[in-house]
Structure 1
Amino acid sequence: MDSNDLTLESKCENLMNIVVESRKRFGKACVDYDKKTLLTENKLLNLQVSTVSNYRFKPKNNVPSVEDDASKSLDDLFVEITEKQKRIDDVKRKLKNTHEVILQLEADVIGKKLRAPLTADAMLAQAKAKIV
């Protein structure tokens, strides 16, 4: 190798070292900048939140005060609602039982025969239907 190659190699190595060092320095600067911007954004956000939370809003309509009479009427309403719910549940249960009885009656063969009319004409019609 000649001296030109060595000087060229050392120059390249020096340039690469400069690039690495500048990347390190600017990388740290970018990270610090990002941290500082996040901190300032958080401070601004906290400031906005604190100013909004400290602001007292005036309601358009005044809220009526809750008194003992109102709470008693609410208790009466709850009792009434539970009673009506019980009545509805009882009606549902009775309807289900009635439906089951109707299904049993429809499936009952002997009951169908007993409900058939016992006139002579009906008996003749049944006998003719069995023959044909």
Structure 2
Amino acid sequence: MELEDSSPVNECENLMNVVVESRKRFGKMCVEYEQKTSLMENKILNYHIETFASKKFKPKNYVTTPVSDDSKEIEDFSLELIEISKRFEDVRKKVKDTQEVVLQLKNDIVKKRLREPLSVDAILAKVKVKKVS
């Protein structure tokens, strides 16, 4: 009886081993196939990129440059802007110079002395204040 039981078990094990081995072999083949197909796809894509890069495309419609009054208007406008910016810079310089003159006048000692009265009594009072302190 044991011989009868062992033979189907052995056969089943043998069949399972065959299935496992075939799965391993076909799995390796599938992985290799995937690698080869991706390699070929990359080569084809690189070839397409190289061919597109080497081609020179000609436009269907050529763009013409406008040679009408628009260019003259643009040039006049740019000259006007340059002139306005120059005037603005001149005004800025004048304001800065005026500010410097005002600061110099505020700090001028001669001007302060001229504001003081030049009477004898005022000068004596000022000297007395200096001697006391």
TM-score by length of 2: 0.45
TM-score by length of 1: 0.46
Q: Which of structures 1 and 2 has the bigger CA Rg?
A: 2
